[in-house]
Amino acid sequence: MPEPKSTFDETFPCEFYTPAELFEPDLMYTVPEIARLLQGLDADADVDPDTEAVLIDWAVPWVMVHAEDLVIAEPLEAEGPGYYGVASHAVEESGE
């Protein structure tokens, strides 16, 4: 159910990292790892399954919005996750 803004003590700007700001240029990440990074956590941080589900809900749209600045790789195992990394053009454009 929607809530009036007045219900909240404070609101914050909705700002997200760009792929060049979030990723190490030479690493590839799974969606759960991306989700942790978007929250300022280490990619391998231990989070409970319920929290991880919420974090992933934020990460999936972020991946879709930034698709042109990402590269993807097939899973390392048949049933494993896919991997995402920052595209070289995105790193060059950011000056990182």
21-74: pLDDT as tens digits = 999 999 999 999 999 999 999 999 999 999 999 999 989 999 999 999 999 999
Whether 20 and 92 have beta carbons less than 8 Å apart is answered as: no
Contacts of 76 (CB under 8 A, 6+ apart): 83
Q: In the prediction, which pLDDT does 7 show?
A: 95
Q: What does pTM read for this prediction?
A: 0.82
Whether 73 and 45 have beta carbons less than 8 Å apart is answered as: no
Name beta bridge partners: 72. Answer: 84
* 59 sits in which H/E element: helix 49-65
Residue 16 confidence class, pLDDT cut points 50, 70, 90:
confident
Q: In the prediction, which pLDDT does 96 show?
A: 61
Cα angle 96, 69, 41 (rounded to 5 degrees) comes to 65
